[in-house]
Structures are given as C-alpha cells and as structure tokens.
C-alpha cells in the first residue's frame, strides 16, 4: 500500500474512532482494539502471489516473466481487479492498486473485494503468439486462486478483451464442466462480455465531472452558495458554473479516449477538449480538437496519436504537436489524468493550472501534490470515485454470465449512471459541507462500510 493510501485510511480510521455514534457497540478498550485491527487489515493484503511464467518464445528463446496476483481484501465479496501488462509493474504497485480496488468497490457498493494482477513486460515487444502463451501460462500458474467466486481478473493497462478471452478459455480448459463465464470480465461480447464494458470507465470518469458541475449544481446551487463562505472547493465549483470550459486529457487509451469523446459530444456543459496526449505526444488546439477523428486514427495505429504533420494530415486533424508532458501544464480549467500513476508530484505540482483534476488513472497524483493542490482549492475527483465505471460494469457482466441474460448497451449505461449518481449524491453534500478534500470524504465512506462489515463478520479481534 502506498504511503498516501495508508495515511488517508489511517486518518479515516482516526476520525471514525473519535465518532462514538459510529459502531456504538464498541466502547473503551474493545473499541481501541477493533480500530487497531482495522488499521492492520486494511493496510496489508491478504495474499501476495508471485510466479515466474516460463515461456518458450516464438524466436526460440526461453524466458521467465515475473507475474503477480495480489488479493487485498475479500470482506465484501470475491477479489476483483485488472491485470496490468507493463514493463514498470512491481510488487508494491500491484499491492497499492489492489487496496484501491477494495476501497473503490466499498465506495460504490459493488459486492467485490479488492485484487490486482500484473505481468512485468512490454506487450508491444511480443508477438501475438507469445502473448497468447503468456496469458495461458498466467492462468495455469494462478488457477488455484482465481475463479468466479474467488478472484475475478479484468483488463488493465496493456491488456484488453483479447487477453481476457484467452484467459477465460484457458480457465475453462483447466476446470472442465465448471462455471467459467464469471472467471474473467472485460471479455469480448461474443465470449460473454457486457455491451458497454470497454467504454464504461471513460464514460464514468466524464460522468463524475459532468454530474458535479451540471446536475448536482443545478439542484444544489443554493446549498453551494451558502457553503462557499467557508469551503474553498464550493467556491471552485461555483467559479466554473455555466462557463465555457477548456479540458485537457492525459492518456488516449481505453479510458482517456472515451472520456475525451464524452466531453466532445456532451450537451450539458459547454466544454471543448483543447489537448490530448499519449506516451509520445501532446496535441493542442485552442479551438478544440476533433476527437472522433483522433479516435479513428489511433484505432488504425496501435492506439497511438499522430506524431508528425503528415500523420495529422492523414487524421484530418488540426493541432500543434508538443512534448508529451506539456498536457499537464496547459492553461485549462479541467485536467483529466488517464495514463499512469505519479504524474503530478512534488517537482511539477506548482506548474498545474487546472482548477479541477479528474483521476481516470489510478493514483496519478502523489500525496504531496494532492495536499498542495487541495490547499489551493483545486478539486481533485479521486480515482476510487471517478474510475469505477469499469468495475461496476464488470459486475453487470458477471451477473449477466450467471443469469445467462443480456442487457442492451442502453440498459448497461443506465445502470452504470444510476450507481455512480447514488455514490455522488452520498459524497458531494459532505464534500461541499466539510473542509476535507474529496478523496478524504470518499475514503471515510469506504472505510465506514468495510469497518461495519468486518465488525459484523466478527473479524475485529
Ligand atoms: P491503455 O493502455 O488503454 O492507455 C494508456 C494510455 O496512456 C495510452 O494512450 C498511452 O499511450 C498513454 N501513456 C502511457 N505512458 C504515458 C506517459 N508516460 N505519458 C502520457 N501518456 C502515457 O490503459 P487504460 O485502460 O486507458 O488505463 C489508463 C489508466 O486508467 C490506468 O491507470 C488504469 O489503471 C486506469 N483504469 C483503467 C480502467 C479500465 O477499465 N481500463 C479502469 C480503472 C482504472
């Protein structure tokens, strides 16, 4: 668990310990003891599995590729979380991502625990045949600990529905005759995936921002105006109300491209996406970028944005080509972070100009930067609130596999937004009423839920 996650969980526990109306059955020494137990349960994973996948590559060499499956907590249901395929994967990172999944599922009332997987490799440097073998081996090595009621992986950075299809098929071969559809989510629709799963995270990311600045604002304007005397975040939200907004999006993959597209076609807010970026470039146009054209281009170029004037011409897009890190420092109102962790940190936090940051990626803002920006009144919509669309629709996929009944795309989005709206309506009034950043509010909510469940299960001894 990262220091940031640990610290906020501990702060939440300290606040709840003092609040004697919370779990009033626990008093005196028993209360102290229970909260100490909670601290240790939530700050450590239940299991860390590590294997070295032995792979005979197509080029004749035989390699061992390190792979992880971390199971953080399953108090609320089976472990759940993606498998990241990236060269920078490491054990600490996977543990932190697994703990964020526990908190995210608790926040949105998804009946899952938290897990995460990772394979240390750059998938772009392997052939399709090699990747197929790597996926099969991952399932073979971890087949005892995963399964529809134990631990349900999904895609993450570097993996997608192709990998989930391969993995589910391998699980089915290893466990013939047993239920297998729910063993992986994020599968292709023909293999039992849910309509709308691929778009769910990006849509949810944009929804959280739009809901706060439009729907919530519309109904709660008076409350916000009242709160704005003492609450800097309420002042920030009011500052952006009804104004044309400039957005920048870091990362143009599964999450970033969909979030950018949602902004591009949004009819509720007057906003334009003036910049997008990926691992190679930032593209900037102060009049707004043609996002559908960029989505088309990237789908034909292994997910990459245009990097040269010729490629911009091929895409039919007008933009300035800038360094990839430039996206972070532009003079925009809203910055959506949808690439990797630790993008805003001690060394660059003072260059950020956006007043609202939405965390599509997990943990893209370090604790120092989080504190610094929050103190300045920047609203940071945290990962566990903003990027839960994927796991919420994964849950619908898992249910559809069980019920052998399928929802239309419109039904999936309706259910997704209903769930996210419920969470937002629980969290936002407290956020604009309290002096705490949104992340702290979300964590308190998650920790309350997990604490109550663990207490009722008799686990706090
Ligand atoms: P992806 O692999 O589809 O896309 C990642 C994007 O980030 C690509 O455009 C890539 O070029 C870009 N990128 C990589 N390194 C970069 C760098 N150094 N600077 C700028 N851009 C860079 O991944 P994704 O599925 O879109 O996931 C993005 C983030 O969202 C990750 O943190 C992931 O954990 C998180 N997330 C994803 C989902 C999901 O359903 N896909 C759900 C929850 C959270």
Mean pLDDT by 10 residues, the chain (461 residues): 87 93 94 95 97 97 98 98 96 96 98 98 96 98 97 94 98 95 96 94 96 92 89 93 94 96 94 96 98 98 96 98 98 96 96 98 95 96 97 95 88 96 95 90 96 95 87
Is 0.85 surpassed by the pTM of this model? yes
Helices (H) and strands (E) in the chain, counts: 16, 12
Find all residues with CB under 8 Å of 256, minimum gap 6, and list them: 202, 249, 250, 276, 278, 336, 338, 339, 360
| Cβ pair 325, 248 in contact under 8 A | no
Atom of ligand 1 nearest to the CA of 303: 9
Nearest CA to ligand 1 atom 40: 390
CA of 106 to the centre of ligand 1 (A): 23
- d(CA 139, CA 159) in angstroms, rounded, equals 14
Choose which residue among 158, 255, 306, 348 to substitute to test ligand 1 binding: the one with the highest number of ligand atoms within 8 A of its C-beta: 255
Q: Whose CA is nearest to atom 19 of ligand 1?
A: 279
The residues, ordered by sequence, that sit 6+ positions from 23 with a Cβ below 8 Å of its Cβ are: 16, 31, 34, 451, 452, 455
- Residue 230 exposed, middle or buried by CB count within 10 Å (0-12, 13-18, 19+): exposed
Question: Which pLDDT does position 229 carry in this prediction?
Answer: 87
Give the end-to-end CA distance of the chain in Å, rounded to a whole number. 22
Gap from CA of 247 to ligand 1 centroid (Å): 18
pLDDT of residue 2: 82
- Tell me the best of 88, 249, 361 to mutate to test the pocket of ligand 1, counting ligand atoms within 8 Å of each CB and taking the most: 361
The residue whose CA is least distant from atom 35 of ligand 1 is: 361
- Ligand 1 atom 2 nearest Cα: 157
pLDDT of residue 337: 98
**What are the structure tokens assigned to 344, written together?**
């805003």
Please report the atom of ligand 1 found closest to the CA of residue 390: 40
Q: What residue's CA is closest to ligand 1, atom 4?
A: 253
Looking at residue 327, the DSSP 8-state letter turns out to be G
pLDDT given at position 405: 83
According to the model, what pLDDT value does residue 434 have? Answer: 83
CA pair distance 360, 388, nearest whole angstrom? 9
CB burial class (10 A; 0-12, 13-18, 19+) of residue 287? exposed
Alpha helix (H) residue ranges in 108-160: 128-142
Q: How far is the CA of 173 from the centre of ligand 1 (A)?
A: 31
Pocket, ligand 1, Cβ cutoff 6 A: 155-158, 201, 250-256, 277-279, 303, 324, 338-340, 360-362, 387, 390
Q: Could you give the CA distance from residue 187 to residue 193 in angstroms, rounded to a whole number? A: 4
Active site residues: 116
Between the CA of 159 and the centroid of ligand 1 the distance, in Å, is 10
- For ligand 1, the distance from its centroid to the CA atom of residue 157, given in whole angstroms, is 5
How far apart CA 253 and CA 82 sit, in angstroms, is 15
Nearest CA to ligand 1 atom 15: 279
User: For residues 170 and 151, what is the distance between their CA atoms, to the nearest angstrom?
Assistant: 15
Measured in Å, residue 322 CA sits from the centre of ligand 1 at 19
């Amino acid at each position: 668990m990262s220091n940031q996650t640990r610290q906020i969980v501990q702060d939440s526990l300290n606040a709840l310990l003092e609040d004697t109306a919370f779990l009033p059955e626990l008093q005196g020494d028993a209360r102290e003891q229970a909260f100490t137990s909670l601290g240790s349960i939530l700050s450590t994973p239940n299991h860390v599995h590590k294997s070295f996948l032995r792979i005979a590559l197509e080029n004749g060499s035989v390699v061992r590729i390190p792979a992880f499956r971390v199971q953080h907590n399953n108090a609320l249901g089976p472990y759940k979380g993606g498998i990241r395929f990236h060269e920078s994967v490491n054990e600490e990172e996977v543990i932190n991502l697994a703990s964020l999944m526990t908190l995210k599922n608790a926040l949105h009332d998804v009946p899952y625990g938290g897990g995460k997987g990772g394979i240390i490799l750059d998938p772009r440097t392997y052939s399709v045949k090699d990747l197929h073998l790597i996926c099969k081996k991952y399932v073979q090595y971890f087949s005892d600990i995963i399964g529809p009621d134990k631990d349900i992986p999904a895609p993450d950075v570097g993996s997608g529905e192709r990998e989930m299809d391969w993995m589910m098929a391998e699980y089915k071969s290893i466990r013939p005759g047993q239920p297998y559809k729910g063993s992986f989510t994020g599968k292709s629709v023909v293999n039992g995936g849910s309509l709308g799963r691929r778009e769910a995270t990006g849509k949810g990311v944009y929804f959280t921002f739009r809901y706060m600045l439009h729907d919530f604002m519309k109904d709660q304007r008076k409350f916000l105006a009242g709160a704005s005397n003492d609450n800097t975040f309420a002042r920030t939200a009011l500052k952006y109300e009804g104004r044309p907004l400039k957005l920048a999006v870091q990362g143009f993959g599964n999450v970033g491209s969909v979030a950018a597209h949602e902004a591009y076609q949004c009819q509720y807010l007057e906003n334009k996406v003036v910049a997008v970026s990926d691992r190679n470039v930032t593209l900037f146009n102060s009049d707004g970028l043609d996002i559908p054209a960029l989505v088309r281009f990237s789908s034909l170029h292994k997910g990459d944005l245009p990097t040269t004037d010729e490629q911009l011409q091929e895409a039919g897009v007008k933009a300035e080509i800038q360094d990839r890190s430039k996206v972070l420092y532009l003079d925009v109102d809203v910055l959506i972070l949808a690439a990797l962790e630790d993008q805003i940190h001690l060394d660059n936090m003072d260059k950020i100009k956006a007043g609202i940051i939405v965390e599509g990626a997990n943990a893209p803002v370090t604790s120092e930067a989080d504190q610094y920006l929050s103190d300045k009144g920047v609203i940071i919509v945290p990962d566990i609130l903003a990027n839960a669309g994927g796991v919420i629709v994964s849950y619908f996929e898992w249910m559809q596999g069980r019920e052998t009944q399928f929802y239309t795309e419109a039904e999936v989005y309706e259910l997704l937004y209903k769930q996210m709206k419920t969470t937002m309506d629980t969290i936002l009034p407290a956020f604009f009423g309290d002096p705490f950043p949104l992340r702290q509010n979300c964590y308190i909510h998650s920790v309350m839920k997990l604490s109550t469940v663990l207490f009722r299960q008799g686990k706090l001894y």
